[in-house]
């Protein structure tokens, strides 16, 4: 605050529910009558995609394509989205990729803390997807502790960046249950769609890449 200049930044903050959210911070100086700096004001603004996500939830509820626990798209909706993106790829060569995501050692979490805590872990992982996705990205629950992200208009490098960002955000998130800090990590398989892909082939390829991440020690992303 020595120079009194206005400063702005975007930072990730830890939400009380366990996930990370993107926040805009604006810092300005407080001056006395003589113009001397006496303090500062910080203004925090949540800049996650709440409006887009609320509209998406309403649309999914209407179509009965919402996963009740996580409030993400369910498997049927994911399949429809991938089919739609494959059509765009074939007609207009619009690129897209998918992230196949699995929570590491989820059975151990359930066995150690119980299924209610396991459900809370699924929900806080899902909230990380919702809070840190672009408005046109779609994340859904594929089944159990598996999720798929459908990421349009993306290059391979950007897909890897987005996958690793969400992986690191989840690694650095937690929930507190009866004064116990519970964390989770994810493994990810990432792949871009090609001209010959079908729904089955792209999901199978991403699943194989996810398996390689598991074999390599978990909490990593493998792209191919």
In contact, 18 and 174? CB cutoff 8 Å:
yes
Q: Could you tell me which of 98, 94, 170 has the C-alpha nearest to residue 130?
A: 170
Angle at 195 between CA 189 and CA 196, to 5 degrees: 80
Alpha carbon distance 70, 200 (integer Å): 24
Alpha carbon distance 191, 202 (integer Å): 8
Residues 6+ apart with CB under 8 A from 184: 103, 104, 106, 109, 121, 124, 125, 170, 173
Q: By CB neighbour count within 10 A (0-12 exposed, 13-18 middle, 19+ buried), where does 221 fall?
A: buried
Alpha carbon distance 201, 89 (integer Å): 15
Choice among 145, 160, 171, 178 that is catalytic: 145
CA distance from start to end of the chain: 47
Task: Report helix, strand or coil for 3.
Answer: coil
145 is catalytic: yes
| DSSP strand pairing (221-223 vs 186-192) | parallel
Q: Which residues are catalytic?
A: 145
């Amino acid at each position: 605050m020595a120079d009194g200049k206005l400063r702005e930044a975007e930072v990730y903050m830890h939400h009380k529910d366990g996930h990370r959210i993107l926040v805009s911070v604006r810092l300005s100086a407080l001056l006395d009558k003589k113009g001397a700096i006496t303090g500062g004001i910080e203004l925090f603004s949540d800049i996650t995609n709440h409006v887009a996500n609320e509209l998406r939830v309403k649309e999914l509820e209407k179509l009965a394509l919402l996963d009740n626990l996580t409030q993400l798209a369910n498997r049927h909706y994911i399949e429809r989205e991938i089919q739609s993106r494959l059509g765009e790829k074939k007609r207009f060569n619009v690129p897209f990729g998918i992230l196949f995501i699995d929570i590491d050692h989820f059975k151990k979490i359930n066995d150690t803390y119980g299924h209610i805590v396991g459900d809370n872990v699924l929900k806080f992982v899902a909230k990380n997807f919702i809070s840190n996705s672009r408005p046109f990205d779609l994340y859904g629950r594929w089944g159990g502790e598996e999720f798929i992200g459908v990421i349009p208009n993306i290059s391979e490098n950007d897909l890897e960046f987005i996958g690793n960002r969400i992986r690191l955000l989840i690694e650095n998130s937690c929930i507190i249950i009866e004064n116990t800090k519970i964390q989770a990590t994810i493994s990810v398989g990432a792949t871009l769609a090609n001209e010959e892909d079908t729904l089955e082939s792209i999901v199978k390829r991403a699943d194989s890449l996810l398996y390689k991440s598991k074999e390599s020690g978990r909490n990593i992303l493998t792209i191919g």
